[in-house]
Amino acid sequence: MASWSAFAADEPRLADGIRLLLQQYGPGFGYLATVRADGGPRVHPVSPVITDEGLFCFVIDSPKRRDLERDGRYALHSFPAECSDDEAYVAGHARPVTDPARLTRVARAGRAAPQVDWRLFEFTVDVAMLTRRAQGGSALGAPLRPTVQLWLDPGVDTGAHRRVPGTGALRGRHGFDTRRPAA
């Protein structure tokens, strides 16, 4: 489980691309998926905060917050861009931030209202993915294949990735196909 800062140090261009998509409408906007107590998904819009210290999210008292407190697994997806079909995806584990000085710094950066009952979570990064789709199409009118940049935390057990029979692709812990299109 890498911090956002460790991921960004390892892959700065990928981290910048993801940050730009998450912050395309201002401070931060995306969809947060959590795991309900019955194992099903829960998806809500959130305003993630990215600082030099990490990737954070303020979560009010809600089922989503209880999901993160109980299980911790999350996936964060960028809000659709108006001018492209580019998308960003980050998945990992959420952990509550309890250090008062850190809470104050991130609250200031995220403009979090002190009178609201929120809890701050730091999101670690197990997987980061940026998909870019070229505008237009090929000379024959066929859509161009997307370009996918993928980062998997090298500190996470690689046994969590398995080969998909007949494809040569890896299927990640989070269920997506890790193949990259041919150049």
- Output the pLDDT for position 161: 52
Partners of 91 in the beta sheet?
Answer: 75, 127
Higher pLDDT, 28 or 115: 28
Which contacts of 99-106 are long-range, i.e. CB under 8 A and separated by 24 or more positions?
102/53, 105/51, 105/53, 106/49, 106/51, 106/53, 106/56
Dihedral sign (CA 46, 50, 56, 58): negative
In the chain the beta strands, taken as DSSP E runs, fall at: 30-35, 41-46, 49-51, 54-60, 73-78, 87-96, 118-123, 127-132, 147-152, 162-163, 170-171
Indicate whether 22 pLDDT > 70: yes
Q: What is the pLDDT of residue 180?
A: 44
8 Å CB contact between 175 and 160? no
Task: Catalogue all structural domains in the chain, each as residue range(s) with its CATH number.
Answer: 4-171 (2.30.110.10)
pLDDT at 131: 94
pTM of the model: 0.80
The band of 92, judged by pLDDT with boundaries at 50, 70 and 90, is: very high
